[in-house]
Amino acid sequence: MGTATVTGALAMCSFGVAPSSLNFLPTPKVMIEGRPAGTIADIAPGVNVMPFGMCTSLSNPTVAAATSAALGVLTPMPCMPTIAGPWKPGAMKTTIGGKPALTSGATCNCAFGGVVSMTMTGAVRTTAG
C-alpha cells in the first residue's frame, strides 16, 4: 500500500536536471483531496509527465549530436520525456477506470535510459492498496 498520486505530484528523471510535475486529466478520474488521481497508464509526455529541464543522456539523439559537435564535451539538451512503458508497480487492489492506481514508489523508464521516480505524490492523507 502506498500514498495515492495526484495532479501536482513531483517527479525526477535520473538523466534530468530539474524536478517536474505530474498532471492527470480530470475525466473520467477519481478525485483525491480535490485533485485528479493518476493510474499506471498516465505516461503521456507533455500531458502527464512534464519535461525535466535539460537531458544529460547520451542515448538521447539530440544530446549525442550536441556532445559530438562540442568535441565530446557533454552538452545537455532540452528534455522531452519519452516514456517506454507504464508506471510500475501500481496499487495492488485500487483501480481507476480499470487500471491500477498510481502510488508512491512507482517508477517508469524513459526510452533514453532514464528512470523516472516520484519525489512527492501530491496526496497527503490518502493511501491506495
pLDDT digits (tens, 9 = 90+) for 63-89: 999 999 999 999 999 999 999 999 999
Rounded-to-integer distance, Cα 110 and Cα 44, Å:
11
Residue 43 structural domain = 2-128
For residue 56, give the C-alpha cell: 544529460
Beta bridge partners of 118: 11
Total of domains in the chain: 1
| Helix%, strand%, coil% for the chain, nearest 5 | 5, 40, 50
Mean pLDDT of 111-118: 96
* Grid-cell match 528534455, residue found: 79
124 class by beta-carbon count within 10 Å (0-12 exposed, 13-18 middle, 19+ buried)? exposed
Q: Say whether pLDDT at 92 is over 70.
A: yes
- Output the pTM of the full model: 0.88
* 93 alpha-carbon distance from chain centroid: 21
pLDDT at 4: 82
**What is the mean pLDDT of the segment spanning 110-125?**
88
7-28 confidence digits (pLDDT tens): 999 999 999 999 999 999 886 6
- Would you put residue 107 in left (φ > 0), alpha (ψ -120 to 50) or beta? beta
Give the rounded distance of the alpha carbon of 123 from its chain centre.
16
Query: Which pLDDT score, from 0 to 100, does residue 28 have?
Result: 65
User: Chain-wide mean pLDDT for the chain?
Assistant: 91
**In this model, does residue 129 exceed pLDDT 60?**
no
Is it the case that residue 44 has pLDDT exceeding 80?
A: yes
Cis peptide before 78 (omega within 30 of 0): no
Average pLDDT value for residue range 40-45: 94
